[in-house]
Chains A and B, each alone.
Chain A
Amino acid sequence: MNSFIRNQFPILHQNVNGKPLIYFDNAATSQKPLAVINAIKDYYEHYNSNIHRGAHHLAQIATEKYEDARKTIAQHINASEQEINFVRGTTEAVNLVAISYGRKFIKEGDEIIVSEMEHHSNIVPWQMLCEEKGATLRVIPITDSGEIIFEEYLKLLSEKTKIVSIAYISNALGTIHPVKEVISEAHKVGAVVFIDGAQALPHKKIDVKELDCDFLGFSGHKVFAGTGIGILYGKEILLEAMNPYMGGGEMIKTVSFAGTTYNDLPYKFEAGTPHIEGGISLGAAFTYINELGLDNISVYEDELLEYGTSRFFEVEGLRLVGTAKEKASVISFLVDDIHPYDLGVLLNEQGIAIRTGHHCCQPLMDRLKIEGTCRASFAFYNTKEEIDATVSALKRAVKILS
Chain B
Amino acid sequence: MQKSIAEIEDEIVEEFELFDEQMDKYEYIIDIGKKLPALDSKYQTDDFLVKGCQSKVWLHAYEKEGQLFFEADSNTAITKGIVALLVRVLSGQHPKEILNTSLIFIDKINLRAHLSSQRSNGLSSMIVKMKAYANVYV
Interface residue ranges, A against B (CB under 8 Å): 17-18, 338-339, 341-342, 345-346, 348-350, 357, 396, 400-401
Contact = CB atoms under 8 A, between A and B. Distances in A.
Given A345-B116, A349-B23, 20 more contacts: A17-B22, A17-B114, A338-B77, A339-B75, A342-B77, A342-B78, A345-B115, A345-B119, A346-B23, A346-B26, A346-B78, A348-B116, A349-B22, A349-B114, A350-B23, A396-B23, A400-B23, A400-B26, A400-B27, A401-B30
Interface centre among B22, B78, B79, B116, by most A CB within 10 Å?
Answer: B78
Contacts of A349: 22-23, 26, 114
Contacts of B22: 17-18, 349
Interface of B: 22-23, 26-27, 30, 54-55, 75-79, 114-116, 119
28 contacts: A17-B114, A18-B22, A338-B77, A339-B55, A339-B75, A339-B76, A339-B77, A341-B54, A341-B76, A341-B78, A341-B79, A342-B76, A342-B77, A342-B78, A345-B78, A345-B116, A345-B119, A346-B78, A349-B22, A349-B23, A349-B26, A349-B114, A350-B23, A357-B54, A396-B23, A400-B23, A400-B26, A401-B30
A345 B53 CA distance: 14
A18 B27 CA distance: 18
Nearest to B75: A339
Contacts of B26: 345-346, 349, 400
B23 to A, nearest CB: 6
Interface centre among A18, A345, A348, by most B CB within 10 Å?
Answer: A345
A341 B22 CA distance: 17
Contacts of B55: 339, 341
A396 B22 CA distance: 13
Contact of A400 (B30, B54, B75): B30
Contacts of A341: 54-55, 76, 78-79
Nearest to B79: A341
A312 B109 CA distance: 33
A400 B75 CA distance: 16
A349 B78 CA distance: 12
Nearest to A396: B23
A151 B22 CA distance: 52
Contacts of A396: 23
A342 B78 CA distance: 6
